Amino acid sequence: MAAEINKHYLELKESYLFSEIARRIREWQAENPDRAGELIRMGIGDVTRPLPGAVVDAMIHAASEMGRAESFRGYGPEQGYDFLREKIRGYYEGFGVSLKEQEIFISDGAKSDLGNILDIMGEKSRVLVTDPVYPVYVDTNVMAGHSIRYALSGEENDFLPMPREDYAADLIYLCSPNNPTGAVYDRAQLSAWVDFARERGSIILFDSAYECFVTGDLPHSVYEIEGAKEAAIEFCSFSKKAGFTGTRCGYTVVPEELKRDNVMLNRLWLRRQTTKFNGVCYIVQRGAEAVFSEEGKKQIEENISYYRENARIITETLDRLGIYYTGGKNSPYVWMKAPFGLSSWDFFDRLLNECRVVGTPGEGFGKSGEGYFRLTAFSTKENTKEAMRRMETLFR
């Protein structure tokens, strides 16, 4: 008798969006070896600023601790060290959100836990995702054999879909500031989603990976909304906030108030983590702790301002060219309409071939993304300026 495979994997697209883009870039580089060095990458949201000095110092110190018998540490707590959870708890206090340490689980990044969380959800969950959407929400649910419904968005709702009777689902994925559109829910809009979920017993899986880009009175966390602790799990990351894309650290918040069938999801998640996860590396957690030090906060704010300035350079160019866009104000992503009536992939090819600039075709994020294109502000300032200069030449 042969082992069975999970046949749901066969229902997935051939490759993950960013792997497909990387494949196309490799192909282009092979065909254009003399121009390969001119390529400017504004596709995948990977940061370019190095880790802040305070983080590096903390990591070096932690590494040296690991090299001495008296301060060496082996397995750590699966849910993360108290020193880091306490800092995250304090960070939420700053938004007026009071969390308990045991509600915070340190992870190796938001992406992993956004997929892993399905381990504690029902086998036949009905799932609602917004479209365009971060492909991880869709692909992980296809893998799990769940049924997926799409809340379409577009210019008519500023790419911020709102609840509708027929959107009832067990799990509702929301991302704000949104990846890929950069659009941000305000308090009233987020309250409408929280009320919708509470009335129906749905659980919101809230991705706040880009919250550090939020300015003004927009919510950073879903828990700033009344009643959200009974209806939402939040996923966040140090990747974009502090340059941890390669170092890997994030956190997931599962409030004790969140219960279904009289069971606390917090307990299930703890059980899952203690069984399947051995925690994030001590050195990395010490680095993440330094993100909240006075020095760390200052350095991180400098990096975020740097990316904000890049976003401003992009949006200023689009304003000048009269091109529709969302994002770029409270987000590192700028979601622009593909010019000349081009499809997303045709604009991708044109930008790559004629400008040597890589972005992400909107269609890769779902059918409502067709005709749109995502640029990231995570490049260097010089490259952002140069990319915009080259893009403008298409309009002459």
- Candidates 40, 41, 42, 45; binder of ligand MLT (CB under 6 A) is 45
Q: Report the first-to-last Cα separation within the chain, whole angstroms.
A: 65
44 lies in the binding site for ligand MLT (CB under 6 A):
yes
Question: If you write DSSP's letter for every residue of 300-362 in order, what string do you get?
Answer: HHHHHHHHHHHHHHHHHHHHHHT--EEESSSSSEEEEEPGGG--HHHHHHHHHHHH-EE-EEG
Task: Measure the CA–CA gap between 226 and 229, rounded to whole angstroms.
Answer: 8
- Candidates 41, 87, 111, 248; binder of ligand MLT (CB under 6 A) is 111
Binding residues with ligand MLT: total (CB under 6 A): 6
Evaluate the CA torsion angle 110, 264, 171, 93 in order and state its sign. Answer: negative
**Least Å distance between CB 28 and ligand MLT?**
19
22 lies in the binding site for ligand MLT (CB under 6 A):
no
Segment lying near ligand MLT (by CB under 6 A), choices 38-46, 249-257, 260-268, 270-278: 38-46
Extract the tokens encoding 285: 């957690």
- Candidates 153, 179, 299, 330; binder of ligand MLT (CB under 6 A) is 179
Compute how many other C-beta atoms are within 10 angstroms of the C-beta atom of residue 332.
25
Segment lying near ligand MLT (by CB under 6 A), choices 42-50, 98-106, 200-208, 270-278: 42-50
328 lies in the binding site for ligand MLT (CB under 6 A):
no
- In this structure, are residues 143 and 287 in contact, taking their beta carbons and an 8 Å threshold? no
**Least Å distance between CB 223 and ligand MLT?**
22
Interface characters, 134-173, with ligand MLT (x: CB under 6 A):
x---------------------------------------
Q: Which is closer to ligand MLT, CB of 21 or CB of 203? A: 21
Question: If you write DSSP's letter for every residue of 6-38 in order, what string do you get?
Answer: -GGGGGS-SS-HHHHHHHHHHHHHHH-TTTGGG
Site for ligand MLT in 262-291 (CB under 6 A): none
**Least Å distance between CB 352 and ligand MLT?**
17
Nearest to 215 by CA among 293, 326, 306, 305: 305
Q: Which residues, 6+ apart, have CB-to-CB distance to 45 below 8 Å?
A: 179, 240, 332, 333, 376, 378
**Least Å distance between CB 291 and ligand MLT?**
17
Which residues form the interface with ligand MLT (CB under 6 A)? 44-46, 111, 134, 179
